[in-house]
A = this chain, B = another copy of it.
Amino acid sequence: MKAFVTGAAGFIGSSLVDRLLADGHDVVGYDNFSTGLQKFLATARRNKRFKMIKGDVLNATAMGEAMEGCDFVFHFAANADVRFGTDDPRRDLDQNTVATFNVLDSMRALAIRRIAFSSTGSIYGEAAVIPTPEEAPFPRQTSFYGASKLGAEGFIAAYCEGFGFDGYVFRFVSILGERYTHGHIFDFVKRLREDSSTLTVLGNGKQRKSYLYIGDCIDAMLTAINSGPKGFNVYNLGTDEYCEVTDSVGWITERLGVKPKLEFTGGDRGWIGDNPFIFLDCSKVRKLGWKPKLTIRDGVLRTVDYLTSNSWVLEARS
């Protein structure tokens, strides 16, 4: 395959790039480096099969030129931060919905018809059914991030129906592991390095969340792409477990060898649109033969170890 990867310098994008290259594929990376990091491409850049193009997904012309000659698009560029949607709702519209449309329409113009997309479990809002299957009751969006991904998914489905695309939509829980650069572990490790005496936790700490290790995430996506049916496909990606925020805090502080006093901001949500319980039914992708190798705890510990031994990441993404 000759893959086009948007968000190639990001956490998930760069991890996928390395995997595709290791598997012998050609890869064109595309990233505007607004949040992506050059260092994540160090290994890829040593590979002759890799070509990196700096560009923005909102520049459809430049992206179309960069995409030419590829036969599969992994669209991972996004505003990936669910938490700050109310600060700038248009960012989610542009960077997630409109950007995805641009990717699809560039593909159409170039007769590229296979796309994988990083969607989110946040799309289920506060799900009526938990663990939440892909065909859960029609959800009510609680975040701009979820809303923008919902629109993006809809257009992918329409391109599958209208133009014969094969679409693989992955609704992720939060992804952990090497190159993890934002989220609660990042915030906690960073703050504990500055002051290990106290740690402020948003909400009451009882929020139940699911996580998946990056290596397992990529295994799952490649399994679905290689063995899933043609046309439009949606897969939840997660482990068969969840943890409370305080569980995660316990693992992090134990690994760091610190014993901070925990201060909770209170309430059952960390922020507007925060979902107090995310737990996905992942039996659909499991039926294709995939299963996660790491537990949530293992994933959290690996992430802490990564951040500890790569403290430059904490500085780069302050």
Given A93-B155, A97-B151, A150-B154, check contact A162 B128 (CB 8 Å): no
Stretch in contact with the other chain, from A6-14, A84-92, A283-291? A84-92
Q: Say yes or no for A312: interface residue by CB 8 A criterion.
A: no
Name A140's closest neighbour in chain B (CB-CB).
B157
A135 touches B137 (CB 8 A): yes
Task: Tell me the A140-170 residues at the B interface (CB within 8 Å).
Answer: 140-144, 146-148, 150-155, 157-159, 161-163
Q: How many copies does the complex hold?
A: 2
Task: Tell me the A57-106 residues at the B interface (CB within 8 Å).
Answer: 85-86, 89-90, 93, 97-98, 101, 104-105
Pick from B86, B140, B150, B163: contact of A232, CB below 8 A: B140
Q: Say yes or no for A266: interface residue by CB 8 A criterion.
A: no
Hey, which chain B residues are within 8 Å of A85, CB to CB?
Answer: 158, 162
B141 touches A135 (CB 8 A): no
Alpha-carbon separation in the docked complex, A108 to B136 (Å): 31
Hey, which chain B residues are within 8 Å of A143, CB to CB?
Answer: 158, 161-162
Given A98-B98, A162-B273, A272-B161, check contact A138 B134 (CB 8 Å): yes
Hey, which chain B residues are within 8 Å of A232, CB to CB?
Answer: 140
Name A145's closest neighbour in chain B (CB-CB).
B158
Given A93-B101, A101-B89, A137-B137, check contact A144 B128 (CB 8 Å): no
Hey, which chain B residues are within 8 Å of A154, CB to CB?
Answer: 141, 146-148, 150-151
Q: Say yes or no for A183: interface residue by CB 8 A criterion.
A: no
Hey, which chain B residues are within 8 Å of A139, CB to CB?
Answer: 138
Task: Tell me the A241-286 residues at the B interface (CB within 8 Å).
Answer: 272-273
Chain A residues engaging chain B, CB cutoff 8 angstroms: 85-86, 89-90, 93, 97-98, 101, 104-105, 108, 125, 128, 134-144, 146-148, 150-155, 157-159, 161-163, 232, 234, 272-273
